[in-house]
Amino acid sequence: MNDEWSQEMEKRHVPVVWEAIQDAFENNAPEVHSYLHLTTGEVIRIVDGIADPNMHARIVSDPSYIRIDPVSSREQYRWMERFISTIEDEEFHKKLLGAIDGKGAFRRFKDVLMHFPVDRERWFAFRAERLKVAIEAWLDTHGLVAVEREKWEVPSANDVREAVNREEVERPERRNRFAAAEASRQRLQELVELLPVRELENAVAYLEFLRERKHLPRVTSKSVQKNAKASELQDSDSPEAESKES
């Protein structure tokens, strides 16, 4: 018992957003790569052809991130088979079996369930449970324990009014920047409403890229000069450089 408690204490606790990690485990498209930040619990999704390859390489080499291994299509197909085996109505059972036969099985399966709301909800619950088991097994394999994030209470207007009034008096220029930011956010919302459905995933991936970019080290002219100088010093100390001097 003490050994089990000790092993549990050695595991790393990560505050996760369960819905985000579920989406990452379910999406096994080859061009989509998902990573879990071990400190914040945020899930970042990178799509090949959209995200910056250099940023992707930096995340891969960053020990703060761990790649999420999604559930394979084969395993998710087995989930559908197991769910169908729970259907008692013979006609509905045959309809679902026919839907998952051949290419496009996942789409046809969902299309059939759209007309059966009760069984569709049963499927959502069944799939969520299977995902939970897969996620917990993955976390355990990597020595991680998912913990609930601390709830953040939205402050009331009275809580922040005094601070806002003081800020506006002391720094009026900040109010102008806030107004410009709000205008940009409103324009962004309008553009999202106008986007065709097929472009929404690309838009989300790009916005996630912009959000995560702030967590990565920025390359500045000073850092480039510093690295170049260090490289020159290293080259001057190398055996090749000594042989040339001799």
pLDDT tops 70 at residue 1: no
- Quick one: average pLDDT of 183-198? 80
The answer on 191 and 88 residing in a single domain is no
C-beta separation of 46 from 59 below 8 A: yes
Give residue 34's pLDDT. Answer: 92
* Confidence band of 20 (pLDDT split at 50, 70, 90): confident
Q: Label the pairing between strands 144-148 and 12-16.
A: parallel
Are 79 and 16 contained in the same domain? yes
In a domain, 236, yes or no: no
In a domain, 26, yes or no: yes
Residue 231 lies in a domain: no
Residues 18 and 138 in one domain: yes
For tokens 């995933």, what's the residue?
201
Same domain, 128 and 173: no
153 within some domain: no
Same domain, 127 and 163: no
| Residue 38 sits in the same domain as residue 98 | yes
Query: Is 33 a domain residue?
Result: yes
User: What pLDDT shows up at residue 195?
Assistant: 78
Distance of CA 27 to the CA centre of its chain: 11
**SS3 of 51, please?**
coil
Quick check: is 125 in a domain?
A: yes
Q: Please name which of 34, 64, 36, 32 lies closest in space to residue 50, comparing C-alpha atoms.
A: 32
Shared domain check, 101 and 212? no
Do 96 and 195 belong to one domain?
Answer: no
138 with 167, same domain: the answer is: no
Q: Single out the residue in 123, 148, 173 at which a domain terminates.
A: 148
- Domain membership of residue 183 (yes or no) is yes
Of 148, 174, 208, the one marking the end of a domain is: 148
Q: Over the stretch 46-83, which tens digit does the pLDDT of each residue have?
A: 988 888 888 889 999 999 999 999 999 999 999 999 99
Domain's final residue, options 148, 182, 198: 148
pLDDT of the residue at 33: 93
Q: What is the CA radius of gyration of the chain?
A: 26
Domain count, the chain: 2
Average pLDDT for the chain: 80
Structural domain contains residue 196: yes
Structural domain that includes position 77: 9-148
Q: Rounded to whole angstroms, what are the CA distances from 116 to 82, 89, 112, 113, 122?
A: 18, 12, 7, 5, 10
Question: 5 to each of 9, 146, 155, 218, how far by Cα in Å?
Answer: 6, 16, 38, 41
pLDDT at 66: 93
The answer on 184 and 83 residing in a single domain is no
